[in-house]
């Protein structure tokens, strides 16, 4: 056999071995890629993404799209080396260590369940934020979500208790409870008035010192909102809290005359608080690519993500900075009318 033929044979064998290894060797990385977009003022499978009943609604136009990130990999379904290599050379894809998405302290199933809970909470927060922006009153209830075992509240308060007052002070938000407890010295008692089933009762709970030396009782709380009409949000198999801003804008658009978008195709992302503050999200680069591919020309960007977004913004996508819901509405008004300032990433 000639030297050339031998070289080709050895090279071919090595390529084959490397190909087999690449296709079979599993690596602890996760591939993040642009996921689907959903128009919050549109429909999924002929059902409105946002359905409002018990309150007049108005026609909408254009799109207010939420954006998502798809992932491959995870502890129970690791990707192969070739998939990771393809991701590393694709600028629209990110390959990140597995523990970034799935910490060692939680299983893949637990992370996915947490994402589902965060999505449900974001829908409630988005509705609360939209109604706050529109100055529509609603009631905030504070419930006991869980009790920390061995802490003072263990055996006294119960999961599902509705906290009405703390030391006689009416409870309207989570902070009311935490402030009232922390106002005590460790060892002092706190009196909770709670509704438990059909009963209303007073429960006295001692306090102890927390890690910072302040008084705690060891209760985890969650808000529950009672809105004056029904807002039902349907997004299918999407998790996480990052669609909050776009849900809020979709609700506002449906509840107010005129079209918030002016017919434009607008996408965006950002968590939302009931007070309307917009928070940072992950996967901004992949979300922008998905938005542009779906036809969006404007992208509402959390202020905290602006620097990162500017490094990867696709051609033809205008970044509009959103630090809170009210300013996002004003920005859309300015885009639609051509009057007023449109805050951009990289300015002010």
| CATH of residue 187 | 2.30.42.10
Which range has highest mean pLDDT (77-81, 141-145, 190-194, 219-223)? 190-194
Same domain, 262 and 125: yes
Candidate from 19-33, 157-171, 198-212 with smallest mean pLDDT: 19-33
> Does 280 have pLDDT greater than 90?
yes
Same domain, 181 and 127: no
pLDDT at 105: 58
Same domain, 248 and 205: no
Same domain, 255 and 213: no
Tell me which residues are annotated as active site.
Answer: 242, 287
By the 8 A CB rule, do 278 and 303 touch? yes
By the 8 A CB rule, do 287 and 34 touch? yes
Any domain includes 11: no
Local structure of 48: helix, strand or coil: strand
Cα distance between residue 140 and residue 223, in whole Å: 7
pLDDT at 9: 53
Any domain includes 270: yes
Please say which residue of 205, 226, 247 terminates a domain: 226
**Number of domains forming the structure of the chain:** 2
pLDDT at 236: 74
> Does 186 have pLDDT greater than 70?
yes
Any domain includes 92: no
Candidate from 43-47, 299-303, 330-334 with smallest mean pLDDT: 43-47
Average pLDDT over residues 7-27: 51
Same domain, 195 and 216: yes
Any domain includes 130: yes
Cα distance between residue 143 and residue 162, in whole Å: 5
pLDDT at 241: 82
Same domain, 210 and 248: no
pLDDT at 208: 95
Helices (H), the chain: 3-24, 81-88, 98-101, 108-133, 174-182, 244-255, 284-293, 306-310, 325-337
Confidence of residue 226 (pLDDT cuts 50, 70, 90): very high
Please say which residue of 226, 256, 274 terminates a domain: 226
Same domain, 194 and 307: no
Residue 320 phi, psi dihedral angles, 5° rounding: -115, 125
pLDDT at 22: 45
Any domain includes 76: no
Any domain includes 18: no
pLDDT at 141: 92
Same domain, 302 and 332: yes
Cα distance between residue 33 and residue 69, in whole Å: 6
Cα distance between residue 328 and residue 321, in whole Å: 8
Q: pLDDT above 90 covers what percent of the chain?
A: 64
Pairing type for strands 139-147 and 219-226 reads antiparallel
Any domain includes 5: no
pLDDT at 238: 72
Q: Which two tokens stand for residue 230?
A: 């029904």
Range(s) of the domain holding residue 156: 139-226
Same domain, 190 and 323: no
Q: pLDDT above 70 covers what percent of the chain?
A: 82
By the 8 A CB rule, do 8 and 76 touch? no
Confidence of residue 90 (pLDDT cuts 50, 70, 90): confident
């Amino acid at each position: 056999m000639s030297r050339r033929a031998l070289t080709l044979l050895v090279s071919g064998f090595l390529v084959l071995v490397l190909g087999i290894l690449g296709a079979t060797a599993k690596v602890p990385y996760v591939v993040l890629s642009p996921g689907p977009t959903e128009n919050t003022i549109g429909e999924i499978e002929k059902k409105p993404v946002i359905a409002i009943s018990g309150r007049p609604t108005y026609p909408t136009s254009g799109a207010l799209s939420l954006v998502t990130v798809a992932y491959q990999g995870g502890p129970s379904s690791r990707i192969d080396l070739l998939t990771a290599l393809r991701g590393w050379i694709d600028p629209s894809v990110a390959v990140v260590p597995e523990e970034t998405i799935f910490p060692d302290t939680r299983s893949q199933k637990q992370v996915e369940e947490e994402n589902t809970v965060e999505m449900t909470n974001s829908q409630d927060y988005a509705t609360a934020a939209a109604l706050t922006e529109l100055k529509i009153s609603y009631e905030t209830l504070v419930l006991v979500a869980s009790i920390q075992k061995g802490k003072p509240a263990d055996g006294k308060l119960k999961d599902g208790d509705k906290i009405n007052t703390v030391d006689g002070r009416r409870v309207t938000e989570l902070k009311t409870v935490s402030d009232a407890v922390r106002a005590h010295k460790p060892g002092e008692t706190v009196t909770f008035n709670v509704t438990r089933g059909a009963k209303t009762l007073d429960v006295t709970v001692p306090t102890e010192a927390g890690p910072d030396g302040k008084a705690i009782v060891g209760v985890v709380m969650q808000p529950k909102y009672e809105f004056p009409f029904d807002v039902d949000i349907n997004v299918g198999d999407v998790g996480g809290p990052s669609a909050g801003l776009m849900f809020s804008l979709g609700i506002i658009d449906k509840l107010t005359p005129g079209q918030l978008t002016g017919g434009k195709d607008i996408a965006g992302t950002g968590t939302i608080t009931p007070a309307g503050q917009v928070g940072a999200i992950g996967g901004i680069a992949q979300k922008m690519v998905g938005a542009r591919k779906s036809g969006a020309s404007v992208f509402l960007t959390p202020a905290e993500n602006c620097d990162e977004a500017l490094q990867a913004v696709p051609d033809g996508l205008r970044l509009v900075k959103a630090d809170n819901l009210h300013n996002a509405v004003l920005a859309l008004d300015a885009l639609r009318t051509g009057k007023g300032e449109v805050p951009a990433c990289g300015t002010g």
